[in-house]
Structure 1
């Protein structure tokens, strides 16, 4: 070996740990906030799993804005009020939730932990909050329903298949399994351009790498040495030929090229891009009348249309900034609805997701009329620690909500009011018109 090679080897051996790794918490108990789980997951998960969870569209400016938008809103707290009792409970599509928080649908939980989405379902049951099970869950929705008490607030995320009969079968089985609502995701007729994900395309070699728990975690404290239990497999529905997708729900079938695409592109290969408002009645009938939640509303017009077509709730969402770069944050859409279609809040529930990381973020949405807020990535990152991690995320959110509700001068969610916020700065970014109500246009034509 040459002296140069020896020198290089010495440098490599002596190389200190990265700053991110050295600062990352090593246990769920050491995580003080939701960002800590992201730091931990980045060091625990291998690149393919991390890229899928973390990826966002294009240059990821929308990803940053989802977070930054909250800093443009200031509180106007009230004082000298008795805030000893605090009640965080709320009603979500007719069901009691212990706080205005739910677990958002996110796919492929077993990339982080062998129990995957089972941890999320158990957390929802333990904390009395809803969990929207991803259509691309790595554990079947029927297995998840069997994992938790029947009164657990399990909702199902639907991507409508190009073969409608397959979606009808899924909806029938979801209703039979005891799910409480259907969440129709409408902002993803095709996959967004997620470059972190695209750089780790799932060719056959990558699929084999992802097929064992040990290969997708850098330091898997609870991972087995062998392949995942095939009974629960179903990751990345639409990648049927891959070794970790032996048990695909009937809702999804792969395109011939799916195995060489990015995770996101492959998963969306079965989605019907022709879905329209008129299809909501079909979904309602196929699911035996379950409440319909429309996820992916990004403007006041579509919020009004959702109310007109009978949705029980809408989720203001840009898909976690994973679809259209430049889409508005949910807080901006919330303000736009208040400006142009305020009657929507009386006709259906308005939910939000995307970039929320603090109890104060939730309170800002509640003050502007939201019923509840969804958290996706934080729970997926927390799966690096299994049940302990996901339970810890819910506990942190509950503690932050209680503390900051008191500091705001309120004791229950109905007391968190618009007058407690200064939104002057963010309102400068709102759409200013012209505006024509789409519902009024429909009624005029009748």
Structure 2
């Protein structure tokens, strides 16, 4: 039976030499963990000797602390509860009732509806993009500049199957869920509800962020325990009923933390070893430092009261607990939570190190490719795939729209499509967008913000967002005279309106680059 610890005893351990914290009635010793904490020691000191349940549960899964700290650091149960915080959390303060799902018929409907009931800080975090948001807008609007070339008098009466594979895993659709952070700020079950929706649709691939509110193990478990597909569109039949889960990885400044995370997800002590919990690792390389997201900076965190014993506005992603607060730069959650991410990644050191940590069966994908030259480098480095991404326009404004980079690969290095799988994300709001990406060689198209907006209604909202996109994709295919994914090709598109924006060769061989080398 666990020892009982009084609030008075807990309060005595309120400093860095003896740092205890209570969560959900259980007391944990964070003393040894605190100096290596990715988010710094200050947040732990803030809650030292206190009950941090409100802060922890705002965005965390119940099991996370037990997976971070060894059992020996679980000291016992709190004998009596401490005062409950009365401050406002990021997932409360709804300003309007949610419209019924039956009234929402497009992804944009979900976006507009979410703005009526999600708290301002949550909306700012989800929807914000870097500086003037040019890239964020162009990610979507550039799709509209590429027009379709429908073929007519083709028999399209046969059912369309969207079933395909992603990194060798059977999926019900080429549309996958892109990684997003802090799902619990939108819905209490966060990424778990996303997993359940993907499972119900017959197996939609889900990429889970290192900064998710729930651990990857929690997501995998939620999907495994959820019933199979319910009544859904026949186009989403996946006879294997798989739910591939991939990890989107931010490398920690303390690389031992990353090594431990990967080891826990890919290697087990069983004999013979059981399969990896994840089907691949998506290494994020387009955010070595946080972008300036001005909308997020401008919206302050909800105020706390002077009577709180735990700051319930604490944002606690999977890798780094942090508290949103204002400084002379603003109060962006994105900037605050990115403090643990390493800015020191390199082609020659990071990729071999990661590859050595992963079992051969777990593919490595480079996420954040924005030039043909880097696509070639990823191919030559042995990556199994790349994701063309600019972090949803959240990192570097005026970087190219992702569909333009896909065009650049077609023009400058088409061989990469034969050597590895190419994915694209950013700005996907319609089934026509997915169709165009697939015509240009993408193996799959990711959706991030749209899924988060749907998450406001839980798994049913996420499911409907994905169903809408899949239905639109099927309609587009039939309108263009095709009924199979392998029939899609660039000839079904007219890209002349944007061709002039695409480089003609690899950046290293650009005439200006040659001239510059000659002057050095």
Shared topology, TM-score over 0.5?
A: yes
Q: Summarize deviations over 1:238-280 as a string: whole Å, max 9, x none.
A: 334679xxxxxxxxxxxxx9x9852111111011111011211
User: What is the aligned partner in structure 2 of residue 192 from structure 1?
Assistant: 291
Shift of 1:436: 3.5
- In structure 2, the partner of 1:269 is 339
Asked whether the equivalents of residues 25 and 37 of structure 1 are also in contact (C-alpha less than 8 Å), the reply is no
Query: Number of matched residues?
Result: 385
Question: TM-score normalized by structure 2?
Answer: 0.70
Hey, what's the Cα distance between the residues in 2 that align with 1:99 and 1:186?
26
Cα shift at 1:314 = 0.5
- The corresponding residue for 2:433 is 361
Q: Secondary structure at the match of 2:457?
A: helix
Q: What is the match of residue 288 of structure 1?
A: 359
Aligned equivalents of 2:389, 2:383: Cα separation in 1: 16
2:373 and 2:164 map into 1 onto residues whose CA distance is 27
Return the offset for 1:211.
7.2
Contact 2:129 2:392 (C-alpha < 8 Å) held by counterparts: yes
In structure 1, what is the equivalent of residue 128 of structure 2?
55
User: Does structure 1 residue 163 correspond to structure 2 residue 262?
Assistant: no
Q: Deviations over 1:96-148 (max 9, x none)?
A: 11111000000011111111111111122222111000111111222111111
Q: Which has the higher contact order (CA 8 A, sep 6+)?
A: 1
Say if 1:301 and 1:437, in contact at 8 Å, map to a contact too. no
How do 1:47-446 and structure 2 match up within 5 A? 47-85=120-158, 86-127=160-201, 128-149=203-224, 151-176=242-267, 178-202=277-301, 205=304, 234-235=316-317, 237-240=319-322, 261-278=331-348, 279-289=350-360, 290-432=362-504, 435-436=507-508
Secondary structure of the residue aligned to 1:29 is helix
Query: 3-state SS of the aligned residue for 2:424?
Result: strand
User: Which runs of no fewer than 5 residues in structure 1 stay unpaired?
Assistant: 1-20, 216-227, 244-256, 442-446
| Cα deviation digits, residues 292-338 of structure 1 (max 9, x gap) | 11110000000001111111111111100000000111110011111
Q: Secondary structure at the match of 2:366?
A: strand
Alpha-carbon spacing, 1:280–1:203, altered in 2? closer, same or farther (3 Å): farther
Q: Which has the larger radius of gyration?
A: 2
Question: In the alignment, is the contact (CA less than 8 A) between 2:317 and 2:337 conserved in 1?
Answer: no
Structure 1: how far apart are the matches of 2:353 and 2:365? Answer: 14
Structure 2 counterpart of 1:38, from 100, 103, 111: 111
Distance in 1 of aligned mates of 2:263 and 2:191: 21
Looking at structure 1, the residues matched to 394 and 403 of structure 2 have their Cα atoms a distance apart, in angstroms, of 17
Q: Against the structure 1 CA distance between its residues 366 and 296, is the aligned structure 2 distance closer, same or farther, given a 3 Å change threshold?
A: same
Offset at residue 189 of structure 1 (A): 0.4
Q: Normalising by structure 1, report the TM-score.
A: 0.81
Look up the SS of the partner of 1:44 in the other structure. coil
The whole-number CA distance in structure 2 between the counterparts of 1:82 and 1:413 is 16
CA distance in 2, matches of 1:429, 1:100: 27
Aligned CA distance change for structure 1 residues 36 and 144 (closer, same or farther; 3 Å): same
